Amino acid sequence: MARRSARLLMAALLAAIPLPALADAAPQIALTFDDIPAHSLLPPGETRVAVIDRIIAELKAARAPAFGFANAGKGEPGELDAVLARWSEAGLPFGNHGYNHLNLDAVGEPTFVAEIDRNDAELAPRGMKRWFRYPFLAEGKNPAVRDAVRKALADRHYHIAGVSLSFDDWAWNEPYSRCATQGNQSAIADLETRYLDAARADAEAARAASKARFGRDVPYVLLLHIGAFDARMLPRLLDLYRGMGFQFITLEQAQRDKFYAATDPREPGPTPALLRTTPLPPKPGAEVCSR
């Protein structure tokens, strides 16, 4: 009896001791790059191959997987083969982004599906994966158009690549080219600061929105582009995400999460939208290095 009482007393004492809170799981991020082989203007002396080589080198250094999306109709002759060869030799997968990067809302469903097929014919022999990303993230404002394209993708056995993080990185590439042409180093330094500030604000806002809606971090899919400024900033961008606690994962790993269920084109409705609900800092525009 005394032994049993002692055990009960010990159990009560242990129950009264507060347990340490479980640490939140590290947030995860999948890197994706649109517009292979050519995005935006290049600064003097730059080449598309040099841009892709720098991006690949930084991804390797960070041990960060990535997924690319290609437009066979973009770039100068020979650039598609050269850039895709580098990307594939690095073990990085790529998918379909439409032949000429057309906007579904501007061209309609028949033309858009023909663009998918034309790109498929060019890229499938080069090892393309059955993943599609909508140019401009435009999935069809008209529900009938949207559903017709989704059916076409399902019939062709495509997965849709979602986007839950985007700080409009594309907007920095053209101003950077102008500033580099002028040799305006102070303006380039300002672009660098603004780029990283926008990336941080986007990630913080998306995490806050995810936790408010779901009580957790969903695995994030980040939209980037194969641009010269993206290549310049990638080591600092990856350092920023690591400093925020992110772990790098593949697109396929991220989209196994139920948040991305609607990226299956057999499912109704649009794919998940960006998570952040607050505006980003202003993007650089034509006023930068405009002379």
- Predicted local distance difference test score (pLDDT) of residue 271: 80
Total of domains in the chain: 1
Asked whether residue 288 is assigned to any structural domain, the reply reads: no
- CA 59 vs CA 31, 65, 80, 91, 200: distances in Å: 10, 7, 20, 11, 19
Distance CA(144)–CA(146), nearest Å, equals: 5
Task: Please give the Cα distance from 21 to 146 (Å, whole number).
Answer: 45
Q: Give me the pLDDT at residue 243, please.
A: 98
Domain assignment of residue 140, yes or no: yes
Mean pLDDT of 68-97: 97
CA distance 115 to 102: 8
Contact 231, 173 (CB under 8 A): no
* pLDDT class of 211 with cuts at 50, 70, 90: very high
Q: Phi and psi dihedrals of 274, rounded to 5?
A: -55, 145
Asked if residue 19 belongs to a domain, the reply is no
Given this model, what pLDDT does residue 114 score? 98
Q: What is the pLDDT of residue 291?
A: 79
Q: Is residue 289 part of a domain?
A: no
The amino acid that residue 171 corresponds to is A
pLDDT over 70 (residue 183)? yes
pLDDT band at 17 (very low <50, low <70, confident <90, very high): very low
Task: List the domain range (segments joined by +) for residue 32.
Answer: 27-263
pLDDT tens per residue, range 90-144: 999 999 999 999 999 999 999 999 999 999 999 999 999 999 999 999 999 999 9
Residue 181 lies in a domain: yes
Q: Per the domain annotation, does 144 fall within a domain?
A: yes
- Rounded average pLDDT over 189-207: 97
Q: Within 10 A of 38 (CB to CB), how many other CB atoms are there?
A: 21
Q: Is residue 254 part of a domain?
A: yes
- Could you tell me the two tokens for 187? 């303006």
CATH code: domain of residue 97: 3.20.20.370
Length of the chain: 291
Phi-psi region at 243: left, alpha or beta (left = phi > 0; alpha = psi -120 to 50): alpha
Tens digit of pLDDT for each residue in 248-265? Answer: 999 999 999 999 998 999
pLDDT-based confidence at residue 6 (cuts at 50, 70, 90): very low
Q: Mean pLDDT across the stretch 196-213?
A: 96
Structure confidence at residue 14 (pLDDT):
34
Please name every residue paired with 248 in a beta bridge, in sequence order, or none if there are none: 29
Whether residue 23 is predicted with pLDDT greater than 60 in this model: the reply is no
Q: Which helix (H) or strand (E) holds 204?
A: helix 185-214
Whole-angstrom Cα distance, residue 64 to residue 251?
Answer: 11
Say what the pLDDT of residue 7 is.
45
Backbone angles phi, psi at 252, to 5 degrees: -60, -40
Q: Tokens in use for 201?
A: 């604000």
Mean pLDDT over 67-73 rounds to 98
- pLDDT at residue 16 greater than cutoff 90: no
Q: What is the DSSP letter of 170?
A: G
Write the pLDDT tens digit of every residue in 147-166: 999 999 999 999 999 999 99
269-291: average pLDDT: 87
Is residue 287 in a domain? no
Residues 230 and 169 sit within 8 Å (Cβ to Cβ):
yes
Centroid of chain to Cα 165: 6
